[in-house]
Amino acid sequence: MTNSTQLLQQALSAQLNAYAPYSGFAVGAAILTPSGKIFCGCNVENASYPCGTCAEAGAISAMIADGERQIAEILVCADDECLLPCGNCLQKIAEFALPDTLVHCANLDKIVQTYRLTELLPHRFYLENTTDDR
Ligand SMILES: [Zn+2]
């Protein structure tokens, strides 16, 4: 079984547990780390909408809680479309990824599209940006 197949299966499993009573839009995510571990997340909505979290954020939290700090690949899945991570999640992914880290977008059946992180977020925010002497 390839890494991407495992990622898709794990993301789909997490998607089944999504808490999305307001949008009805269930999303799953799975992260592969360089050590070969996989961490999953799903979206968790809230009656106070901004309190909700995306699937990618959940997967990143699980990765960090386990002591891992590097995303080798990440996959995001939704029912029947090629879902791209939102801008907020791209920045969260970038914190723990390299510009060429693979971002897979999948539906229930397969990976529909794969991007390098830099294609989706060519100019991420770095800490150095806050100390730039302009
Ligand atoms: Zn997001």
d(CA 38, CA 134): 41
pLDDT at 131: 56
Quote the ligand 1 centre to 57 CA distance (angstroms). Answer: 7
Q: Is the pLDDT of residue 134 over 50?
A: no
Quote the ligand 1 centre to 55 CA distance (angstroms). Answer: 7
Quote the ligand 1 centre to 4 CA distance (angstroms). Answer: 20
Tokens representing residue 78 in the block:
């939704």
What domains appear along the chain, each with residue ranges and CATH number? Answer: 3-131 (3.40.140.10)
Quote the ligand 1 centre to 88 CA distance (angstroms). Answer: 5
Closest CA to 60 of 29, 17, 102: 29
pTM of the model: 0.92
Tokens 């197949």 found at: 5
Closest CA to 76 of 96, 115, 52, 104: 104
**Extended strands (E) in the chain:** 28-32, 38-42, 73-77, 102-106, 111-116
Mean pLDDT of 98-109: 96
Active site residues: 56
Number of neighbouring beta carbons within 10 Å of residue 3? 16
- Quick: pLDDT tens for 9-45: 999 999 999 999 999 999 999 999 999 999 999 999 9
Burial of 124 (0-12, 13-18, 19+ CB in 10 A): middle
Are 41 and 62 a contacting pair, CB within 8 Å? Answer: yes
Mean per-residue pLDDT over the chain, rounded: 93
